Amino acid sequence: MSIAGKRALITGIQGFTGRFMAAELAAQGCEIVGMGSQPSDEAGYYQVDLSDATGLSKLLADIQPDIVVHLAALAFVGHGAANAFYQVNLIGTRNLLEAIEACGKTPECVLLASSANVYGNASSGMLDESTAPSPANDYAVSKLAMEYMASLWLNRLPIVITRPFNYTGIGQAENFLLPKIVSHFARKAEKIELGNLDVWRDFSDVRAVVSAYRGLLEVKPLGQTINVSSGVTHSLREVIDMCREITGHDMVVEVNPAFVRANEVKTLCGDNTRLRSLVNGWETPQLKETLSWMLAASQAV
Low-confidence spans in the chain with pLDDT less than 50? none
Phi and psi, residue 182, nearest 5° = -60, -45
Sign of the CA dihedral with 223 first, then 58, 12, and 51 last = negative
Helix (H/G/I), strand (E/B), else coil: 22: helix
> CA gyration radius for the chain?
19
Strand partners, 168: 205
Report which residue type is found at 39.
Answer: P
Q: Determine the pLDDT at residue 76.
A: 64
Other beta carbons within 10 angstroms of residue 83's beta carbon come to: 9
Instruction: Identify the three-state secondary structure at position 75.
Output: coil
Compute the distance between CA of residue 168 and CA of residue 180 in angstroms, rounded to an integer.
11
Helix (H) or strand (E) holding 99: helix 93-101
How many DSSP H helices and E strands does the chain contain?
A: 10, 15
Question: Of the CATH numbers 3.40.50.2300, 3.30.70.260, 3.40.50.720, 1.25.10.10, which one belongs to the domain with range 7-170+206-230+269-284?
Answer: 3.40.50.720
pTM above 0.75, yes or no: yes
The angle at the Cα of 215, spanning 284 to 96, to the nearest 5 degrees, equals 110
d(CA 249, CA 188): 7
| CA gap 48, 51 in Å, rounded | 8
Total residues belonging to the chain: 301
Strand partners, 10: 34, 69
- Spans of all domains in the chain: 7-170+206-230+269-284
Q: How far apart are the C-alpha atoms of 192 and 279, rounded to whole Å?
A: 39
> Which residues, including other chains, have CB under 8 Å from residue 192's CB and lie 6 or more apart?
180, 181, 184, 251, 252, 253, 254
DSSP 247-300: H----EEEE-GGGS-TT--SEEEE--HHHHHHSTT-----HHHHHHHHHHHHHH
Instruction: Write out the DSSP string of 104-169.
Output: SS--SEEEEE--GGGGTTS--SEE-TTSPP---SHHHHHHHHHHHHHHTTTTTS-EEEEEE--EE-
Q: What's the pLDDT at 123?
A: 64
Model pLDDT, residue 175: 86
Going by their DSSP bridges, the two strands 204-205 and 167-168 should be labelled as parallel
Q: 38, 66, 67: which is closest to 50 by C-alpha?
A: 38
CB 296 within 8 A of CB 187: no
Distance CA(301)–CA(295), nearest Å, equals 10
Within 10 A of 222 (CB to CB), how many other CB atoms are there? 13
